[in-house]
Structure 1
Amino acid sequence: MSFPLIDVSKIDSPDDQLAIAKKVTEACQQWGFLLIKGHQIPPSEIEEMFSLGKAFFSLPEEQKSQYPINEDEIGYMGSFKDRGKDDKMSMWFGGLPGAIKNTPGLHPFWYEQAEKVEAFKHKCHSLVVKMLVCFALAMELPDKDFFANAHLENAGKGNSLRMLMYPARGEQPQTGGSRMAQHTDSGSVTLLFQKQAGLEVLSPNGDWIKAPCIEDCILVNLGDALSFWSGTHLKATLHRVTFDGLPHDQERQTMAYFGSAHPDTVLQPIMAGKTMGKYHSNGFDIEPGITVGQLNAMIMKSIYKAPEPAPVPLPAQIFV
């Protein structure tokens, strides 16, 4: 099987949307990953975000580390700070629209850039919603917005953009970690912007392969929430970055946008009369009735030792 590459430039066209939806969904059934081109996020804006990230990561570590991630998932995390002691730096931009500039303790570098980051997040969210509509169409759900309606941009805790830097070093760190430990994502749809290849994906035949890095293409993968919700009609796939695939003396810069449903969304698998077996991921068995927030907290705590979130009142409408 060749790694799927799909042109989505006509995803808004009524005459082409269903055909694109079927191609995208088939790729996500087989691989859980695909490359998309014609995605309508301007290359110049992607490059500007990469340039900002590069400038920030080049600042002294002792300066960046003074502004750690807060409860809204906005802030910095240095290398070796997660449970797996992975060698990657990350700048997180979570929260609802407008939250970045209003965050106490944000690194001063980002205050003047906050509106650009927010605008980029908005474009990413719009693309995620289009992908979610594709899945509903291809699955022949009665409402094409079934998944999309649970992913409102201004609801819940918002979606997250994460700038990542795998630094080049003179020698491999002796921490016992990797560049990024193998895992599946917890949310719905992840958009990965790459400057260099390096991510390894577990292929349908069980082999680890390096995901392609093609100019002006976005690497897309699905998370456990959407996979479970779809009754495993859609696939969440293990992925990783190793020192074999990305040696210690090579730098790699990426950006990942994590599209997630409202944390109070209740996940009841869509099974069409069938029974789904055990869903096991990231060391957990996932059961029907779990909320998106509970699932995310479990996985984030496993990877990052993140604290459990405080309970929040249920909204007037719950998506099932």
Structure 2
Amino acid sequence: MAITKQYSMFLVLFFYFTTISISTPVLAQLSVGFYATTCPSVFDTVRTATLSAINTEARMGASLIRLFFHDCFVNGCDGGILLVDTPAVPGEQTVFPNAGSLRGYDVIDNIKTQVDTACGGPVVSCADILAIAARDSLVALGGPSYSIPVGRRDAIAPNRAGANNELPLAGEPLNVLLDKFRRKGFTTAEELVALSGAHTVGQAQCAVYRDRIHNDANIDPAYAASLRPNCPSTSSPATDGNLAPLDPQTPTRFDNNYFNAVINRRTVLRSDQALFNGSGGPTDSIVIGYSNNPTTFSCDFANAMVKMGNLSPLTGTQGEIRRDCKRIN
């Protein structure tokens, strides 16, 4: 059975990459072997550094996956999220969807230092390092592996307006989520639901889910009650940052239990529960399918991650290869 699953994954990714290379010329400039001569150890270096970071702090794997999503969903995977604010150019890190919640910047900086040392200089972009680290985090947490075409270059400016307006938010309804994903080229509801499955790992802050557990009707009452002592109804600096897992069953393991939580209304984010209403909603059947078939979920998730990694990359002479991920050269 294990061999069959791996072979199925290979076929899905093979046809996906073939379609990309034929239909999208700019993506032909990305390839798995892009650094084969200039930095052949890049994948090993990033993997070792990523695993070290996760071993130091278990939450970091989920944080790096989320950081990758928030980079790619705005202006394509260009490392724009890594740029810090300057007096002249405010960046993406401090906009509402990112401020106080995105993590892992220091880990990417550390990996960049190690990669540049291994390569003899700034050869690999920060955007590629983040893409590889997200994949390695996924694998470390028990998720599927996939090949990553590389060769992205780094943005020379952030897109603060895009970060403010284009990222999906935790309280948005299904129709808004579907529209935001379609605008990025995710044309099927399966892609939205599959990528939402990344919430099988990670946690949310009380300030984000407080209103849901105290006021929403479409949440399991016993589950909501269990969360309230750690997240009282009144906002307070002492409790706003208190965490609750996005997947209450296996919060540190990448699997399909997240979809069981959605079906059972044991979710802390409204955007997660929006995927399933139990009354034949547009994505109900997809959620049920993924809850019953972890192999299908893993394949669809891997394909969607590859697609997201190929959103509007900077290639060739576009952008730059940053020496410091936090700042333009």
- Settle same-fold status: TM greater than 0.5: no
TM-score after normalising by structure 2: 0.26
Higher percent of residues as helix:
2
Higher percent of residues as strand:
1
TM-score after normalising by structure 1: 0.26
Higher RCO by CA contacts (8 Å cutoff, separation 6 or greater): 2
